[in-house]
Chain A
Amino acid sequence: MTKLVVNGKHVTVSADSDTPLLWVLRDKLGLTGTKFGCGIAQCGACTVHVDGQSKRSCVLPIGELDGKQVTTIEGLATPKQLHAVQQAWLAENVPQCGYCQAGQIMTTVALLAANASPTDEDIDSALSANLCRCGTYPRIRRAVHRAAAAIKERG
């Protein structure tokens, strides 16, 4: 039994302690926004936040997460509005197939929390571990800058 907080809700999970968080989210908690891409932390499609840090949920055993706060793509927006990063994604028409975008967005939110004004190099180094086969990288870069500006403006 592992107790954790997912998107602000307390949950108790019954799963083998080696079960990756990804499959707990998808199969036990019904949160399918976090995606399976490679299973070996190579593509970033499964990126979530654990205590605010971006993590690859496909290699994160649930047994290590007792008492942790987990945020997934479903927990980013408020009922009233999308997160500034999600809004920037829409404004730049970033998604193509969209499958990797939850991971790209989660990585970006963590990046902007740590670095409010990232340079292109900062963006590259944070996001190069997130693979996109449709080739949305140029738009992701623009969207990160746009989101950073929007967050700063809001203060």
Chain B
Amino acid sequence: MNRRTFLLSSAGGALAIGCALGPTGGKTWRHFRHTGEFQPNAWIRILADNTILFTLDRTEMGQGTTTSHAALVCEELEVDPRTIRILHAEANRSYDNPDKELRIQITGGSTSTAASWQPLREAGAVAREMLKRGAAELWSVPVGELIARDARIEHAKSQRSATYGQLIRQAAIQEVPKVRLKEPKEFRWIGKSLDRLDGRAKVDGSGTYGIDVRLPGMVTAVIVRPPVRGAKLAKLDDRATRARRGVHDVVHIEEGVAVIAEGYWEARTGADLLKIEWDDGHGGSRDSAALFASFEKLSSSRGRKTVRDDGDAYRSTSSKAIEAVYKLPYLAHATMEPQNATAVIYGSGNAARCEVWAPTQTPGVALWRVAEAIGFDQKQVAIHQTMIGGGFGRRLLVDYAIEAARLAVHTGKPVQVIWSREDDQQTDWYRPMVVARMRGSVAAGNIDGWLHRIVCQSIVADEGPDFIGALMPSRTPRAVRRVFANGPARMFARGTLVDSTSTEGALELPYAIPNLRVEYTPVETGIPVGFWRSVGHSHNAFVTECFFDELAAAAGKDPFELRRALLGKHRRHLGVLELAAKQAGWGTPLPPGVGRGIALHESFHSYCAIVIEASVSGNRVTVRRAVVALDCGRVVNPGLVAAQAESAVIFGLSAALKQQVTFRKGRVQETNFHNYRSLRMFECPVIETYLVPSEETPTGVGEPGVPPVAPALCNAIFAATGKRIRTLPVEAALEAMT
């Protein structure tokens, strides 16, 4: 008796067989028995009333994962993505990022579409096939005659049809089948500009961001953190604060002095009444000008590590070398939604549970860091993901979640921690400050030598422990996890291990230059650094693509033509370079005073070239047009990709033109949006995006547009004015020149 006839002959038996089948099939059936839901995998749940739930396991930061991931699943599930319900995943190892370099529950590195491209389509296909097989058994028809479409299975011959919801019992007993994925020509949703599925909640005020979480009896906390990183509390007088109406408590925690009150205004004005003296320690002498001077001095001697060495760059640049020093400042992330989190403790002792709602890019990190901070087991902690008002890398950190959890333990009430904009600027993990010393030589109209020295802090030294700790199994003893998490970080800080986020983009320079050397010297400053949209590429591309232009000028070559000549067989680099130049009308006349600049960079396995047109008047730069050419492999949603290209240009221009975080006596000088400025609408250029048609596997989208922006801009400024900008931000550099 084969399995199918057995099922037909005995429904009761089928249940038993279903449970006995392979581990996943059995689990699916057990889940159905307990919940009445068909849940073939971690992402899809189908209910009897045909409600289809999709659990989104990457953070929606605006980049569009909600819409693109839903399209991936629905393409194979044969459901209209606009009809499903989408939930945010909680912290759970089932939702680890499949990217082989990440393997924790994290949204970063422009991996969301690339890493989920295969597993999410397979998840949809598995569910669809199980539903089809269930229908085939129920109707005693060959599965090959069934068609899945719009959440129904249909059998044309017998004119039978059922919704997915009607078939979930039969589907849940099926073995997990091997599936064939659609050919691209069969795609219904992939490759189309499906409108954003999260749009409605973002225009009617109904969306719940982290800061909008409301729990019964919730109190609000603001924390006065040390004005200098590493400073210690010396003296605290909180009498006036405690006397303020609405203030419940003042608590000194590791992160600072917390004022807990009935609402934000009561807490904030209460905090303003605190009299605090800090012992600044070493940090009180940190000063940006001095830091730049020390970085520059370090760049004068050979780098601690040589990360690439082709030919003999020292010999080729020994005479008639062109030398330049580039300087880039620390940058803040400045997400529109300030950092915040909400936490509550239920129960006590071994039965205690901590629930945290956090707008985070890393639920996987939040889980272990919160558990460690409050002395709970990981299984006693739940991390709920919320909508998130901008990430840009800032929300890879989970400091806000830890603060909320600590205060929930302390107060015994639900607590929401809200950072002010000033807090956010002062206590960020900044894009590293960088000094790069370049030496190059040209011979016979070509670039002959290239020596690139990078002086930069290691990001992994600061943020690595969070990620390493999250990789380890949940039952790892706390002390062991700490030792393993912290160990490699020290080696990155000292340069025993090379932090690739310091050298990425410089290391892989694609141009055919016979003598090419890249050196790296890590430094430590005590100022925490972190991942900032496009990470090392954000500074290295500025340096390499501007210096390339300097050498092209020295060789008497057109910067576009010289790039093209030196790209050899780099087909995809050439593709975007030529597309951007063509669409921008490279070489055609421009109005007087306007210059055109080009830059090209590969990052996150995607290729991007940008042409910018700009003019300068005094120290004011007008950017009138930006043409973006992007090759990110197969495009899942062209509309969302274009939006990310626009986003990258505006984000990149804000940083290049205006932004820097500077320190005086250890204190951040740029405190709010009036002095940490971003592009405003009247400064926004016309942005055109062109995508290279491709059948390659999808690659990064959110970040690759950022790196070419600053060099294209500065190359345009050179073309317009003859001025080389080697220090960012541009507006400050122009002011210093005049």
A contacts, CB < 8 Å to B: 15-16, 18-20, 23, 26-28, 30-40, 42-43, 45, 72-74, 76-77, 82, 86, 89-90, 93-102, 105, 123-125, 127-141
Contacts and interface: CB of A to CB of B under 8 A. Distances in A.
B263 A131 contact: no
Contacts, number: 181
B335 A133 contact: yes
A106 to B, nearest CB: 10
A44 to B, nearest CB: 10
Contact of A135 (B206, B338, B649): B649
B646 A97 contact: no
A128 B673 CA distance: 13
A145 B521 CA distance: 52
B204 A27 contact: no
Given A42-B674, A127-B681, A95 B390 contact: no
The size class of the interface chain B forms with chain A is 35 or more
Nearest to B206: A33
B26 interface: no
B245 A16 contact: yes
A103 to B, nearest CB: 9
A136 B335 CA distance: 14
B690 to A, nearest CB: 15
Interface in B42-90: 61-64
Nearest to A26: B264
A41 to B, nearest CB: 9
Interface string B418-444: 101100000000000000000000000
Nearest to B650: A135
A45 B389 CA distance: 11
B647 A134 contact: yes
B205 interface: yes
Nearest to A135: B650
A27 B220 contact: yes
Max chain B C-beta neighbours (<10 A), residue from A16, A19, A37, A82:
A37
B62 A134 contact: yes
B616 interface: no
B264 A96 contact: no
B668 to A, nearest CB: 15
B208 A133 contact: no
Interface in B197-220: 198-209, 211-212, 214, 220
Contacts of B245: 16
Max chain B C-beta neighbours (<10 A), residue from A43, A98, A105:
A98
A105 B203 contact: yes
A97 B673 contact: no
B392 A141 contact: no
B674 A33 contact: no
Contacts of B207: 98
5 contacts: A35-B209, A73-B204, A98-B207, A102-B205, A134-B650
B387 interface: yes
A30 B203 contact: no
Contact of B199 (A23, A39, A93, A127): A93
Given A39-B421, A90-B199, A133-B334, A96 B63 contact: yes
A98 B198 contact: yes
Nearest to A42: B673
Nearest to B421: A38
B602 to A, nearest CB: 22
A68 B681 CA distance: 30
A1 to B, nearest CB: 15
B265 A19 contact: yes
Nearest 9 A/B pairs, CB to CB = A33-B205, A135-B650, A98-B202, A96-B62, A99-B389, A97-B62, A73-B205, A27-B263, A95-B202
A101 B202 contact: yes
B596 to A, nearest CB: 20
A96 B334 CA distance: 15
Contact of B389 (A42, A94, A97, A139): A97
B330 interface: no
Contacts of A123: 681
Interface in B375-430: 387-392, 418, 420-421
Nearest to A15: B265
Contact of A95 (B198, B209, B684): B198
